[in-house]
Amino acid sequence: MSDIAEAPSPNVPDGAAGTGLDVRSLGQILYLGGIGVVALGVLLWLLAQWNEGGAGEAVDAATGTITLSLGGEPPQLDSTRGTDAVSFNILGHTMEGLLRYDAENRLVGGVAERWEIGDTTATFHLRREARWSNGEPITAHDFVFSWRKVLDPVNASEYAFILYVLKNAEAINNGEMPVESLEVFAVDDRTLQVHLEQPVPYFDKLVAFATYNPISEAFYESRQGRYAADAEDLLYNGPFTIASWVHGASIRLEKNPLYWDADRIRLNAIDYAYFTTDPNAIINLFKDGKTALAGLVAENLDDALQRRWKIKRFSDGAVFFMEFNHRPERLTRNYHLRKAIQAVNDSPELVYKVIKLPGNLPAASLFPVWLKGVDGYFRQEYPLADPAPDDELGRRHLATAMEELGLSEPPTLVMLIGDSPTAKKQAEYYQNLYKQKLGIDIKIDAQIFKQRLAKMTAGDFDIVAAGWGPDYDDPMTFADLFASWNENNRGRFDDPELDDAVDVARSSSDPKTRMDAMARVQQILFDEAAIVVSYERGSVYVSHPRLKGIVRRAVGTDPDYTGAWIE
């Protein structure tokens, strides 16, 4: 926006030339302007036609290259410090940890060839042929170095907590013990021995997470603090290497010839030529044949149907919910106020009428449907009774809450949300719902991601529209979210029974006991209305018809092109 004082100013002192002329010239301008607009429209249409003719560049079979868009520039690619989806996606293609997920989401060996996980110990035997992109072999020392780095308080890694299962890890991260006291040892170059604080039944799933990736100490030191800041400041051990990284513009991955399983990789190069999160821009790129994959939003669905695209769906594993602030000074600490809001919540209405995108599921439980339980799916084994919305019950709870809080009329609450259009749309839906059903006024506080996170951490909200995506493939990744000690429990929900249940689920090695405990967590969260679950997120997307073997998954690298090929 430029200065508004520069608005079209009347040329008055010289304007005496005559009325007729001015009006005529205005008419002419309008007329010419009209012609100009039409001409521009025709030109744009021609351009669009011409572009559609040129479709197909996104997948180049001759060179084995695919072109894609990326949701933004990775801040840096140091696996010990990464937190964002974009970084993890690039790391998933260029790096490999001890274990990885295959195309059917089973855990298979990565750098580790064999592994034994006992109660409180785990031993990983590394492959002889696993090498860094400079030809050096990957040794157990690389893991010890990188894990110490993650836990070193100086490094301030946000994902350090995911290593807390290692013996002494938490104390090291809190600065109470030296990093050398981490009980992870390189017995020899190819044997890594790990001691755990307590039995961790899902430890194999944890080590597939990018924060557990190895780093070559010699290389790290040689970069003098610039490690992973640029393509040449990084050593790769995964299926691809970064051939070029033009900051703010593009990233190009090329096949890593030194990767131990290079025969598996059939693409020669992945070109992330566009950094954007705008769904319409990505769809237009796809229409023009400039990207091989595009997510759809509700507004594009009709267009996609008309074009007869083959639409695919997947669940990205995340659950979205309204999280209450349980800090003592907040109204939302009142049980009945939360119950009132929970009672009027109508997840199917939100999903089917407002979000309108297939793949999203109505939900009442924090645990999404795809999580595995004892034998089958957790939610099929431990269903949560999902009551229909009950406005009458909601109003009764509200009346009790107002009495307890000494309010004469329904309160005004601040709802903290992200700044995306969908977040705003949902917030406006909730604003109206709470107003209509309960008379509660909602002030919508839309913030960019960082600012929202800061406000969540500071507790500067009554209700926050939050979401949680899984880090590893075990219900635990959701279950401990509202434990009193969890930093990500932004509303400071504090319930000893829930803490107990989480403890049982964490340490027991019997699947049935664990899942029973998880079910208790599920029930407590619902009964106490610690959160009100909005929906499970899913997505629909289209991909280039010749590009096969893309893997979409809830846990792990997504989308995963390592097994993709061009037909």
By the 8 A CB rule, do 546 and 61 touch?
yes
In DSSP notation, 308-365 reads: T--EEEEEEEEEEEEEE--STTSGGG-HHHHHHHHHH--HHHIIIIII--TT-EE-SS
276 near other proteins (CB under 8 A): no
If binding is defined by CB under 8 A, does position 546 make contact with other proteins? no
Q: Decide: is 385 part of the binding site for other proteins (CB under 8 A).
A: no
- Omega cis (within 30) before 559: yes
- Binding segment for other proteins among 49-57, 149-157, 232-240, 429-437 (CB under 8 A)? 429-437
Contact between 429 and other proteins per CB under 8 A: yes
CB of 299 to other proteins, least distance (A): 5
Nearer CB in complex with other proteins: 251/466: 466
Pick one of 135, 154, 225, 308: the residue that binds other proteins (CB under 8 A): 308
With binding defined as CB under 8 A, does residue 254 bind other proteins?
no
CB 347 → other proteins: shortest distance, Å? 12
The answer to whether 352 contacts other proteins (rule: CB under 8 A) is yes
Question: Is 409 a residue that touches other proteins (CB under 8 A)?
Answer: no
Contacts of 429 (CB under 8 A, 6+ apart): 350, 354
**Is 8 one of the binding residues for other proteins (CB under 8 A)?**
yes
Shortest distance in whole angstroms from residue 491 CB to other proteins = 18
Q: Which residue's entry shows tokens 């030296």?
A: 178
Q: Interface mask (CB under 8 A) for other proteins, residues 14-43, using x and -?
A: -xx--x--xx--x-----------------
Q: Is 305 in the site for other proteins (CB under 8 A)?
A: yes
528 three-class SS: coil
353 binds other proteins (CB under 8 A): yes
Q: Could you say whether residue 293 binds other proteins (CB under 8 A)?
A: no
Complex with other proteins: residue 8 or 406, whichever CB lies closer: 8
User: Is 7 an interacting residue with respect to other proteins (CB under 8 A)?
Assistant: yes
DSSP string over 379-395: HHHSPPP-PPP-HHHHH
Please count the residues of this chain forming the interface with other proteins, following the rule CB under 8 A.
Answer: 67
Tokens of 163: 């290593």
Q: DSSP string of 255-274?
A: E-TT-TTGGG---SEEEEEE
Residue of 98, 351, 438, 463 that binds other proteins (CB under 8 A)? 351
Measured between alpha carbons, how far apart are the two ends of the chain, in Å? 48
C-alpha–C-alpha distance, residues 448 and 450, integer Å: 6
Q: Does 224 bind other proteins (CB under 8 A)?
A: no
Q: Which of 143, 212, 286, 309 binds other proteins (CB under 8 A)?
A: 309
* Residue 520 half-sphere exposure toward CB, CA atoms < 13 A: 18
DSSP string, 145-200: HHHHHHH-GGG--TTGGGGTTBTTHHHHHTTSS-GGG--EEEEETTEEEEEBSS--
Q: How far apart are CA 127 and CA 490, in angstroms?
A: 42
**Type and span of the H or E element at 543:** strand 531-543
Where along the sequence are the contacts to other proteins (CB under 8 A)? 1-10, 12-13, 15-16, 19, 22-23, 26, 104, 280, 298-299, 301-303, 305-306, 308-313, 348-349, 351-354, 356, 358-359, 369-370, 376-377, 380, 388, 414-415, 419, 421, 424-425, 427-429, 431-432, 435-436, 443-447, 540
